[in-house]
Structure 1
Amino acid sequence: MTGTLPSSIDVLIVGAGIGGASLAASLAPHRRVLLIEAEAMPGYHATGRSAAFWHETYGGPAIQPLSKASFELLRDPPADFSERGFLSPRAAFNLGRRDEAKVVDEFTAGFAAKGVDIQRMSGAEVARIVPGIRPDWSEAAYEGACSDIDVGALHAAFLRAAKRAGAQLATGVALTSARRTASGWQVQAGTGTVHANVIVNAAGAWADTVAELCGARPLGIRPYRRTVVQLRLGVPVPASLPLVIHVGGSFYFKGESEGRVWLSPHDETPSAPCDAAPEELDVAIAIDRLQQVVDWPIAAVERKWAGLRSFAPDRLPVFGADPHVPGFVWCAGQGGFGIQTSPAIGELLAAELGAPWPRGAIGNLDPAPFSPTRLA
C-alpha cells in the first residue's frame, strides 16, 4: 500500500478503521479500491481504542444476526486470511440487582428465542464465579460463547487481505472536497486529486461531515465518548474473570490479568468528532459503580482512555447506497458493535458494490434493515 494517490479508481473508501478495512478486504478482489485515512495510521480512533469482545447479545436483537454470522470468520478464519483465530474464550454475565430480576428474565427469554446460548443463573452461581460480589447483585444471564477479540490482529488482517488484492492505502490524507460529475466523482484528498466512480463513507465519528463535503444530507450520525480504565486491585481476581455487563447499561468490567480488570461506566457522552480523552469525573463514576457491585479494594488506576462510538438515531448500523446522491455509499453508525459485526457488514456491502454475494451464514442475512433509505 502507498501514500500516493492513483489518478482513477473504482471505489474510494474514506476511513481505514475496521469498517473501511473490512469492506476493502472483501471488495478489492473485484474492484479497484483506494482507502484514504486522515490520521497517520489506520484505526487510530474507535478501532484502536476498543475493549472489544464478541458478545452475541451486545447491541440488542437487531444486531445479533450480524454478530452471529460474523462469528465463524472471527473464530476460524481461512488460512489465507490469518494463521490463527481472533477470539479468546471468555464467558459473559448479564448482571442485575435483585430488583432487576424481571429485566434479566425477559432479556434471557428474548435472546433464547433467537437461538442464543444463554441461561439464567442463580445468585449462588454468580457469587461462585464473581468473587466478592455484593449480595444484592444476584440476578444474571450467562453466555458461555462470549470471547475477547484481538482487534489489532483482525484489523491488520483485513488490511493485508485488501493489499494482496490490489487495494491501496493513503494515510495522513483527509478528504477536502468531492464534486459529482457525469462520470463519477472528482475528489480532492490531501494535496492530490483522484477520480472515483463510487465514494464509501466509512469515516466513523466524521461520517456526517464527509457526507456534507460530498453534497449528501447528514443522517444524524452522532459520536459519543466511552471511557475505559485499567485497575490494579488489592485482591487476586483472576485474569479469566468473565465479562460482567449490567443489564441496565451502567457498567461493564472484565479480567485483564491477574489482579487487574478493565472497567467502563458504559458512558455515552455526546461529543464533537475529536481525538477523545477520558474525563476524571467519568473515571471516578466508573470506580464508584464498580465498588457498588463488588468489595474489591483498588490499589491503582494504571491506564485510562476514551474513544468515540458513533450511532445513527435508531442505533442500527447504516450501510448501503445513499437514496439521493448517486455513487455515494454509507458504512457508518457501527457503535460499540462494529468490531464484532465487521465480517458481515464488510461482505454484505461489498456485494452491493460488485463482489459476489457472500456464502454461508452471512449470505443468509437481509441487509435491507440497515439501508440508509430508512433515515432519508
Structure 2
Amino acid sequence: MSAHPDILVIGGGMAGISAAALLAEEARVTVLEAEPHIGMHSTGRSAAIFILNYGNATLRALNAAAYPVLSGRDSGVSFLSPRGELLVAQAEEMDTLDAYLEGTTGIERLTPDEAQALVPVLRTERIAGAIIERDAQDIDVDLLLQSYARQLRARGGAVLTGEKVQSITREAEGWRVETTQNTHSAAIVINAAGAWADEVASLAGVRPIGLQPMRRSAVMMPVPDGVQVAAWPLFGSISETWYAKPSGAALMISPADEDPLAPQDAWPDDMVLAEGLYRFEQMVDIPVVRPTHSWAGLRSFVSDRSPVAGFAPDAPGFFWLAGQGGYGIQTAPALAALTRDLCLQGESGFAPGLLAALSPERLYQSAD
C-alpha cells in the first residue's frame, strides 16, 4: 500500500472495487471499507442477472457498454451463464408490457402457452401477454468482485477493511479522511459508499444528491418433488410486483419491494414477503410453502433513477459513484471505465449525452 495514495475510494462494494481496479493501472489507489469484508451489503445480496433491456435509456447504454467485459469478449473470462428473463402480463398490465417494449432489442412476444412451455407452473388463464429476453444471463457476482479485487492488488492498490469514515476535510492539496483506524490523504476522493453516499458527502461538506435507499427482499422457497426448475428463466410480473429465479433446486422469490429506508443493514419485513408470495401464488399452480430463509438489501436511487458518476461541481476532487439502484452489478464495468477516464484524463470516450445524464450536476440543477 502506498503511504500517499493519489485516490481514496470510500466503499468496498462492486462499484468501488471495480473502479479502484481500473484506476490502479495508472494511479496509487486505496479503498476504505467500513465492514470486515468487501461486498457485504448490496453487492452480496443481488439477484445478479444481466438484462440488456433493463432500466431507462441511460442504463441501457451502460448495460451495452458493460457487456464486453461481463461476457468475456475483452478478456476471455466470462462472468455470465445462460438464464433468460420471462415477463408475464395480466389483462390490466398490457399497456405496461407495450410501454416496456419501446426502445428494446432482442425481445420476443410469447403466447400464454409458449410462456408456460418455458415455466410449466405458470397459469395460462391468468396471462394476457408475455415476453422473453433469451439473452438475459446470470452474473457470477463473487467471481466478478474477486476478479476486480485481484486486479487492484496486483497493480499495487490496497483494500483496508474496518475503516469506517468519521470525517472528511478539504485541504490545500486534496482531502484528509479520518476513519476509525487511520488518517488518509489523497487528491481525489471517490464516494462509492452505496446507501451511505449522501452521509459521506455530508461529512465532506458536499451537497447531497437526494439519494434514497429502498429495501428489496427475497426468500428461498423449496418446490415440490419432481418439479425441475434449473432450466427455467427468471420469470416475473411486467409491473415488477414479484419475480422468481431458479437457484439450485429451489426458487428465489422476491416481492420486488421498494420500501424507503435510512441507510442500514436491511432486514425483510414479514408482511411485505407474505404479500409478495401471495401475488406470486396467484400466477402459478404450485403451493407456496415455508421458505428456508429470507434476506433483504438496499437499492439506492436518485430522483431520475439513473446512476450518478462525476465530480461534484461544488467540491474539486470529490467524485460521486452512487445511485446505481438495482443495476449496480451489471453496469459496474462501464461505470468503472467512465470513472477511470474522468479521474485520470478529465474526459471520456463515452457519449457526451450519457456523461450529462450521469453527472451529479443534473440533480443540483433540477433542485434549484
Fold match, TM over 0.5?
yes
- Whether 1:118 and 2:107 are equivalent positions in the alignment is yes
Cα distance in structure 2, aligned partners of 1:132 and 1:145: 22
Q: Show CA shifts across 1:246-290 (max 9, x none).
A: 2212111111223x1111000011111111111211221221111
CA contact (8 A) 2:8 2:188 kept: yes
Instruction: Indicate how the Cα distance of structure 1 residues 237 and 300 shifts in structure 2: closer, same or farther if over 3 A, else same.
Output: farther
Partner of 1:100: 93
Q: Show CA shifts across 1:126-158 (max 9, x none).
A: 122121212112311110100010001101111
Match of 2:122 among 133, 141, 144: 133
Q: Show CA shifts across 1:73-97 (max 9, x none).
A: 1111554xxx731111111112211
Instruction: Give the letter aligned to residue 43 of structure 2.
Output: T
Shift of 1:219: 0.8
Q: Show CA shifts across 1:46-89 (max 9, x none).
A: 0011111001122233311101111111111554xxx7311111
- Whether 1:152 and 2:142 are equivalent positions in the alignment is yes
Instruction: Give the letter aligned to residue 94 of structure 1.
Output: L
Matches within 5 A, 1:94-243: 94-108=87-101, 110-112=102-104, 116-134=105-123, 135-234=125-224, 236-243=227-234
Farther off after superposition, 129-138 or 158-167 = 129-138
Match of 1:43 among 39, 43, 47: 39
Match of 2:244 among 249, 253, 269: 253
Shift of 1:332: 0.2
Q: TM-score, normalised by structure 2?
A: 0.94
CA contact (8 A) 2:84 2:136 kept: yes
Partner of 1:373: 361
Instruction: Indicate how the Cα distance of structure 1 residues 375 and 364 shifts in structure 2: closer, same or farther if over 3 A, else same.
Output: closer
Q: Report percent identity of matched pairs.
A: 37
Q: Show CA shifts across 1:90-135 (max 9, x none).
A: 1111221123223223322x133xxx11111112211221212121
SS of 1:31's partner is coil
CA contact (8 A) 1:222 1:270 kept: yes
Match of 1:346 among 336, 346, 356: 336
CA contact (8 A) 2:221 2:251 kept: yes
Matches within 5 A, 1:292-331: 292-331=282-321
Instruction: Give the letter aligned to residue 302 of structure 2.
Output: A
CA contact (8 A) 1:48 1:151 kept: yes
Cα distance in structure 2, aligned partners of 1:375 and 1:23: 22
Q: Show CA shifts across 1:271-314 (max 9, x none).
A: 11111111211221221111011011234311211001111111
Instruction: Give the letter aligned to residue 36 of structure 2.
Output: A
Cα distance in structure 1, aligned partners of 2:262 and 2:165: 18
SS of 1:217's partner is coil
CA contact (8 A) 2:281 2:288 kept: no
Partner of 1:244: 235
Instruction: Give the letter aligned to residue 130 of structure 1.
Output: V
Instruction: Give the letter aligned to residue 290 of structure 2.
Output: A
Cα distance in structure 1, aligned partners of 2:68 and 2:346: 19
Farther off after superposition, 60-69 or 266-275 = 60-69
Cα distance in structure 1, aligned partners of 2:52 and 2:12: 25
RMSD, matched Cα: 1.8
Cα distance in structure 1, aligned partners of 2:162 and 2:18: 20
Farther off after superposition, 131-140 or 66-75 = 131-140
Instruction: Indicate how the Cα distance of structure 1 residues 364 and 319 shifts in structure 2: closer, same or farther if over 3 A, else same.
Output: closer
Instruction: Give the letter aligned to residue 323 of structure 2.
Output: G
Instruction: Return structure 1 stretches of 4+ with deviation > 4 angstroms.
Output: 355-359, 362-365
Shift of 1:216: 0.2
Instruction: Indicate how the Cα distance of structure 1 residues 87 and 315 shifts in structure 2: closer, same or farther if over 3 A, else same.
Output: same
CA contact (8 A) 1:53 1:146 kept: yes
Cα distance in structure 2, aligned partners of 1:364 and 1:74: 24
Partner of 1:70: 66
Shift of 1:358: 7.3
SS of 2:329's partner is coil
- Aligned residues between the structures: 362
Q: Show CA shifts across 1:208-244 (max 9, x none).
A: 0000001101111111111011100125042121111
CA contact (8 A) 1:221 1:310 kept: yes
| 5+ residue gaps, structure 1 | none
Partner of 1:87: 80
